[in-house]
């Protein structure tokens, strides 16, 4: 009898979980630990990136306050994720197409959405979805993972038109479990389409922790099954996030297909301001551990040591951001309240009979 072949499943698993290193440029104190990955950014660009991150922190603080005053609608906190969001966005061009999720309003505004429109979107006002002609973006997706499938389609369109641009899209650790996620990276990979896919791994999908999300050691390794490169990066390190994003964009624009980037990050606040209480599923220790890795602290230290940043400079950025936010909310307040009839008219290009009847009913009510 021939000897039966046995399979070493442990060894197979080790291969599956092959090392996906976490790319880093700055440690948590702002020291350069990997000069080889240091991106080529001018002093002005470095300052601009910090300015955007500080602006985003202020936007978070003001959005939280406005929400509590009943002056804003839906809000998904962003504090903690500034490097993951703004340093990634910083690597793309205006003609690249952004497909955001509900937490990605800061990137959308930096991509060209007027802040007043972002506030109107938060209030569920239809005017918040009427984008400027030249803004290459879709409104934030609420259906977890759906933006990935849409991104695969846009990416294929860019490829077929021989565009030297990419689509970039964001989901979360939770989103990376959705069917849409796998379908999108698979088809984009098969057609070598122009896309950079982000998983912002903030450790939780509402209250579900990362270790209940998947047995995969990293979420970046999910790229392997799609035959595309996957990279894990320290999502609290703006220079590392920017560096891998820029390289990924270059690679994809050159016709090599998509890249998947997992950013390791954390949201300081609740999931949304609609009733989530993170103290029920996260410890104070965990919060402080991540707060010590804060992207603003480390970038501030780095820039200050280079003589590019100061307390006064930061104060000026904060004041300007507050002023811009105040003006944008006032602008949003001046837009007339949405009527039900308008909302109904916006649903279909050719209205079905039922909708026509409802519009008549509401117009009659609204004219009283
Ligand atoms: C298809 C779908 N299922 C469920 C939900 C409800 N839901 C909203 S946010 C969320 C968690 C998403 O977590 P993650 O992808 O990690 O993103 P994060 O909120 O942490 O940025 C869920 C389940 C939804 N919006 N869409
Ligand atoms: Mg998450």
pLDDT digits (tens, 9 = 90+) for 296-318: 999 999 999 999 999 999 999 99
Indicate if ligand 1 lies below 6 Å from the C-beta of 179: no
Indicate if ligand 1 lies below 6 Å from the C-beta of 206: yes
Residue 129 and residue 150 share a domain: yes
Residue 350 and residue 237 share a domain: no
Q: What is the pLDDT of residue 1?
A: 62
Query: Own/partner pairs for 341-349, CB < 8 Å, 24+ apart?
Result: 341/366, 342/126, 343/126, 346/126
Q: Does residue 41 have a pLDDT over 90?
A: yes
Residue 342 and residue 196 share a domain: no
Indicate if ligand 1 lies below 6 Å from the C-beta of 262: no
Is residue 228 in a domain? yes
DSSP letter for 254, please. Answer: I
Is residue 223 in a domain? yes
Residue 104 and residue 24 share a domain: yes
Distance 205 CA to ligand 1 centre (A): 6
pLDDT digits (tens, 9 = 90+) for 259-272: 999 999 999 999 99
Cα–Cα separations (whole angstroms), residue 21 to 8, 81, 230, 236: 25, 20, 10, 15
Residue of 193, 187, 172 lying closest to 262 (CA atoms): 172
pLDDT digits (tens, 9 = 90+) for 149-208: 999 999 999 999 999 999 999 999 999 999 999 999 999 999 999 999 999 999 999 999
267 is catalytic: yes
Residue 342 and residue 259 share a domain: no
Full residue range of the structural domain in which residue 355 is found: 338-367
Residue of 181, 255, 250 lying closest to 220 (CA atoms): 181
Residues in the chain: 368
* Spatial separation of the C-alpha atoms in residues 233 and 242, rounded to whole Å: 10
Could you tell me whether strands 259-264 and 22-23 are parallel, antiparallel, or unpaired per DSSP bridges?
Answer: unpaired
Question: 33 burial class (0-12, 13-18, 19+ CB within 10 angstroms)?
Answer: middle
Residue 242 and residue 191 share a domain: yes
pLDDT digits (tens, 9 = 90+) for 45-69: 999 999 999 999 999 999 999 999 9
Question: 268 burial class (0-12, 13-18, 19+ CB within 10 angstroms)?
Answer: middle
Residue 113 and residue 225 share a domain: yes
**Ligand 1 atom, smallest distance to 144 CA:** 26
The structural domain count of the chain equals 2
Residue 107 and residue 61 share a domain: yes
User: Model pTM?
Assistant: 0.96
Q: What is the pLDDT of residue 219?
A: 98
Is residue 9 in a domain? no
Is residue 100 in a domain? yes
75 is catalytic: no
Looking at every residue in the chain, the average pLDDT score rounds to: 97
Question: 237 burial class (0-12, 13-18, 19+ CB within 10 angstroms)?
Answer: buried
- The dihedral through the CA atoms of 233, 235, 236, 239 has a sign that is positive
Is residue 172 in a domain? yes
Of 52-56, 247-251, 300-304, 364-368, the poorest mean pLDDT is in 364-368
Residue 217 and residue 363 share a domain: no
CA angle (30, 33, 34) in 5-degree steps:
125
Residue 343 and residue 313 share a domain: no
CATH, residue 174: 3.40.50.970
Is residue 21 in a domain? yes
* Spatial separation of the C-alpha atoms in residues 174 and 31, rounded to whole Å: 32
Q: Tell me which of 267, 282, 298, 300 is the catalytic residue.
A: 267
| Mutation probe of ligand 1 site: the residue of 103, 144, 150, 203 with most atoms within 8 A of C-beta | 144
Residue 354 and residue 307 share a domain: no
Q: Tell me which of 60, 62, 249, 271 is the catalytic residue.
A: 271
Q: How confident is the model at residue 347 (pLDDT cuts 50, 70, 90)?
A: confident
Is residue 2 in a domain? no
pLDDT digits (tens, 9 = 90+) for 212-232: 999 999 999 999 999 999 999
Residue 138 and residue 54 share a domain: yes
Is residue 8 in a domain? no
What is the separation of C-alpha 53 from the centre of its chain, rounded to a whole number of angstroms?
A: 13
């Amino acid at each position: 009898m021939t000897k039966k072949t046995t399979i070493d499943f442990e060894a197979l698993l080790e291969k599956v979980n092959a090392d996906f290193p976490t790319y880093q440029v700055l440690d948590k104190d702002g020291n350069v630990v990997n000069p080889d990955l240091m991106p080529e950014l001018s002093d002005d660009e470095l300052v601009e990136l910090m300015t955007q991150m500080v602006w985003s922190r202020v936007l978070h603080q003001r959005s939280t306050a406005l929400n509590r005053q009943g002056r804003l609608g839906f809000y998904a906190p962003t504090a903690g994720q500034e490097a993951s969001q703004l340093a990634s966005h910083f690597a793309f061009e205006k003609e690249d197409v952004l497909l955001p999720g509900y937490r990605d309003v800061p990137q959308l505004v930096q991509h060209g959405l007027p802040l007043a429109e972002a506030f109107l979107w938060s209030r569920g006002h239809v005017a918040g979805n009427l984008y400027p002609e030249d803004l290459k973006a879709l409104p934030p997706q609420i259906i977890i993972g759906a933006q990935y499938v849409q991104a695969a389609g846009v990416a294929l369109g860019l490829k077929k038109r021989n565009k030297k641009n990419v689509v970039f899209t964001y989901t979360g650790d939770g989103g990376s479990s959705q069917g849409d996620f796998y379908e999108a990276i698979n088809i984009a990979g098969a057609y070598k389409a122009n896309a950079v896919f982000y998983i912002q791994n903030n450790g939780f999908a509402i209250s579900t922790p990362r270790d209940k999300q998947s047995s995969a050691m990293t979420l970046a390794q999910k790229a392997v099954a799609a035959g595309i490169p996957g990279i894990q990066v320290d999502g609290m390190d703006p220079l590392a996030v920017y560096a891998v994003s820029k390289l990924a964009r270059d690679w994809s624009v050159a016709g090599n297909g998509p890249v998947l980037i997992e950013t390791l990050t954390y949201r300081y606040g609740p999931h949304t301001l609609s009733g989530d209480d993170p103290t029920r599923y996260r410890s104070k220790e965990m919060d402080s551990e991540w707060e010590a890795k804060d992207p603003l602290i480390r970038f501030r230290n780095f820039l200050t040591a280079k003589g590019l940043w100061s307390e006064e400079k930061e104060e000026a950025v904060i004041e300007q951001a507050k002023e811009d936010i105040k003006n944008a909310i006032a602008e949003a307040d001046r837009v007339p309240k949405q009527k039900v009839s308008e909302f109904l008219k916006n649903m279909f290009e050719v209205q079905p009979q039922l909708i026509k009847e409802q519009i008549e009913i509401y117009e009659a009510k609204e004219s009283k």
